[in-house]
Each structure stands twice: as C-alpha cells, then as structure tokens.
Amino acid sequence: MGERKGLVWPNVARIIELLKEKAQDDADFASVKSDVEKLERLTGLDPRTAVKILAGKRVQAAKLEEVANELNVPLEEIEESASNPTLSSASQMQVFENWKESAKLIAAARNSIVVIDSILFLDVEWITDLIAQAAHATELEVSIYMASPSKAFGAQRFREMEEMEDSSNAIAIFQDEVSVKELKGYESLFDKVESRIRQQLGRRLKTLKVFEYLCMPSIRIIAIDSARFVFGFFPLFDRNPNFPCFFLDEESATDRDAALLEKLANQIRNTETVSIDRSRLKNINQKTIRK
C-alpha cells in the first residue's frame, strides 16, 4: 500500500491478470503491463472498484480513460463514482512483519516521539539508538511510558514473558499472586531501563520524560511526530519485538482510518492521564526523605 503524489495505487496483481486476458499478444500486454506495474498492492479490491478509486484520487483523465478502456468499464460510470466516499475509503493501514520494520520511521522523526510499552526490556538499546539517530538532525521531545513498579501489572507481564516457553504451566502463571520478590525484581528492572534511557538520550534531546502508568498494559504504541503510528497488542506467551504490528500514517489516511487515528491519539492522552512523571516522583521522594 502506498501513495505517490496524492494517488493511491490499487491491486496490481488483479489488474494485470485481467489486462493479460484482454491483450492481443505478448507485445500488447507488455506495453500495458509497463504502465500498470507502477501500481502498488492494495488487498481485497476487484479491478472495477480499483479503477473507481483511481478516479476518486484524481488520476489524470487520459490515464484513467486508458485503464477504463482496458477493463471495459465505462468512463462515465467511473467519473460518477468519484464522489462516492464508500469507494475511496479503503484503509491505508499497513502490517509490519515485526517492530524492527519501523526503524526508519523512528530514526526520521523531526519533532516528537512517544513510546508506550509494558517495559522496554528487550529492545531498549534498539529504540534509544534510533531516537539518538533522529536527534542528530533535530531537537526532539521524547516521552516514554512504562507499567508502574508500584502496581502488579508490570511484574505480571514480566513473569509471563519470562516463562512463556512453558505454556503448559499457564494457569499457575496467572493464578498465583505476584510475590513481593517479583515486585521488587520488576522495580529494579524498571530502574535499570530508565537509567539506560536517560544515560543514552538525556543530553541529546530537547526534552526527555519517562512516565510510569498505573493501569493495566493494553496496547503498545510508538507515535512519531503525532502523525505516524506504529502499534500492536501485547501477545500472550510471546514478546513484542519479533511480533507483527500495524502502521498508519495520518498523511495518507482515508476516511475509514480517521476513527482509528482518533482512538490511537485518545489512547496516548488517556495513558498520560493515568501516568506519573518519574522526575517529579523522585523529587517528591527526595523531599520526603529529607523531612
């Protein structure tokens, strides 16, 4: 899926297949195919709907007529459908094979990066390196949210990740209460991860804020410049870095994507609402100790 100069290109494989059936010979097909190969894959569209979407995205009239002729779709029908929002609202959301595919997006940030995770346990080095790369070119504001060590949610999630290879013991993993030892272990891990983040990024950024959120981990999000979102769920008995995730760019989003974009933005705002700034928390604790 993708956008090229404001044009969304649809399902190339299906259009090529249909055009090949209509081509008189291989040479004829080759000339058609050279034009159509510019199109990128958009799953689930039949050729007729694909051409209508091209119309809805303001394809040049000559090109539109050429494709319409090859597909035996009346040009008038295509033009009439251009204003129909149901034909031009196919989602532009992409599926990444794993979170590593978002590396270039993170490194290209220009204004801000927001990370919401349970705990940046396995990929703290990966993400801080990418943020540092982005910081070379611009002044970044970075906010990182992780599950609070004052609650059992983070320790429970960490236990699940640590014992994921033996799912035969799954009931016990969730049935047993989180122990004091586990809570202290998670708190120590949180402190180490936070320390690493600040050590790697503290002096390179315009602002760096680390938060602990008090609710249950619900969704992992990396928001780049408040406009590009990489997101996914927390997989049961698995870990995020090598798990599939989704990508949505506000710039190329369709009407169908608008509600999801708003929900993602709301999720970030809601997480902020139930989070504590670690810097302020440490200041409060230090004042309490002095008293």
Using alpha carbons, list the distances in angstroms from residue 24 to 67, 111, 202, 215, 218: 16, 53, 65, 64, 56
Summarize the confidence of residues 104-121 as an average pLDDT. Answer: 93
Summarize the confidence of residues 147-153 as an average pLDDT. Answer: 94
The two three-digit tokens of residue 137, written as one number: 């070119």
Place of tokens 């031009």: 88
pLDDT value of residue 159 = 85
Interval 7-49: pLDDT, tens: 333 444 555 555 555 555 555 555 544 444 443 333 344 444 4
Interval 152-208: pLDDT, tens: 999 988 888 777 666 677 787 788 888 999 999 999 999 999 999 999 998 889 999
Domain residue spans of the chain? 3-84, 94-290
| pLDDT averaged over every residue in the chain | 76
pLDDT value of residue 10 = 40
Single-letter code of the amino acid located at 59: V
pLDDT at 81 exceeding the cut of 90 = no
pLDDT value of residue 163 = 73
pLDDT value of residue 1 = 38
Single-letter code of the amino acid located at 6: G
Summarize the confidence of residues 229-237 as an average pLDDT. Answer: 90
- CATH number of this structure's domain 94-290: 3.30.870.10
Report which of residues 256 and 128 the model is more confident about.
128
Contacts of 272 (CB under 8 A, 6+ apart): 143, 145, 211
CA distance 7 to 258: 18
Q: Where are the alpha helices (DSSP H) in the chain?
A: 12-22, 26-36, 47-56, 61-71, 75-81, 103-107, 124-135, 152-162, 170-175, 180-201, 255-273, 278-290
CA distance 222 to 209: 15
Percent of the chain with pLDDT over 70: 65
133 touches 200 (CB < 8 A): no
pLDDT value of residue 17 = 57
Threshold 0.75, pTM exceeds: no
